[in-house]
Structure 1
């Protein structure tokens, strides 16, 4: 029995095409904006048939959800790299580094960040279950890390891990949004802002206070 003709003109392997679609989507979002994005445009840009993207994504919404998921994965890796780099240097040093890394990630990866926390996107009611689980898992992991720190005496025992994590995320997301939306434009003072924010957060966590 003859094999059906391949829909993939560039000879992508199955997994390779999916990643190529994600990478090209991120590029379009970064350089051209969401209005320029369509599965047909992706297929044309990558030199595959019009139907090839549908083997991986049901529609544009599912594609955007996958981009948001990839954003969370990149974010998690970025923050883990910071924790590894500053391991054993003290909680205040680590907090300062994490704050800076968070804001840097938002500023340097807006094509992902806008989907990770975009209000219109989340209000659409059309998020994939895996994206919902991934997003909630990020906060849950932070809460668990705080609790482990308390058990080891590295974090003040009286800190409510859930409430602190919500404040931490809310504070850093608020600053990031001001930067991305052009409300806060004095990026030359960003280091001072990061240091002040980290000092405020560490004041709550410091077990010696």
Structure 2
């Protein structure tokens, strides 16, 4: 077990968040407690309170960290400086979301739960909306290039999100039967992209 002195310059905060996600995955949000995390990391019961005032602050920070990571990955996939066609970047964007959703199911659920909770922070709401806007901006770029149908890009982005989020939900629940996830993802994105094309 690590002693308090083993953590320096914010390392304890990062360690708390890392352990909190592991507990979230293993036991759900109800299994999270600052005292439990302190015990798991071998630090004093008071140590976590230096970084998180209470359990809710911990969950808010987990959600912020999750959206930050997700948005960074999505921006990379959608990079407007990338010379690849819009369709190729949309496909990578969809795969990126599905991969994150399947690998971090409990965290993603917490992210959206906390974001929509009464009293959620402006930072968290903005980070959540940014996920949608990353998709919307790529669709808008596609519209300017004549590769994407007309329409409100935010509304179109919501439809795209519902497709990939629904697919990830089915995968996590083992409801894809014998269809491998990569194959199901490619097929779902092919159908989605066909519908997004002009005249689709």
2:193 to 191, 202, 205: 202
The alignment covers a number of residue pairs equal to: 197
1:191 lines up with 2:182 in the alignment = yes
Q: TM-score, normalized by length of structure 2?
A: 0.83
Distance 1:96 1:148, change over 3 A: closer
Kindly state the Cα deviation for residue 107 of structure 1 after the two structures are TM-superposed.
0.8
Instruction: Please list the CA deviations of residues 86-126 of structure 1 after superposition, one character each: whole Å capped at 9, or x if unmatched.
Output: 933323333223222221211111232121224xx455424
Alpha-carbon contact 2:4-2:47 (below 8 Å) kept: no
Alignment TM-score, normalising by the size of structure 1: 0.80
List gaps (5 residues or longer) in structure 2. Answer: none
User: Residue 78 of structure 2 contacts residue 138 of structure 2 at CA under 8 Å; is this kept in 1?
Assistant: no
CA distance in 2, matches of 1:150, 1:185: 32
Q: Displacement of 1:41 after TM fit?
A: 0.9
Structure 1 unaligned segments of length 5 or more: list them: 1-7
Equivalent residue number for residue 54 of structure 2? 59
**Does the 8 A contact of 2:150 with 2:198 survive in 1?**
no
Instruction: Say which of 59, 77, 82 aligns to 1:87.
Output: 82
Q: What residue in structure 1 maps to residue 14 of structure 2?
A: 19
Any runs of at least 4 consecutive aligned residues in structure 1 with deviations exceeding 6 A, and if so which? none
Q: Is 1:129 paired with 2:122?
A: yes
Task: State which of 158, 164, 189 in structure 1 corresponds to 2:156.
Answer: 164
For the aligned residues, what is the CA RMSD? 2.6
- Mapped partners of 1:123, 1:69: distance in 2: 13
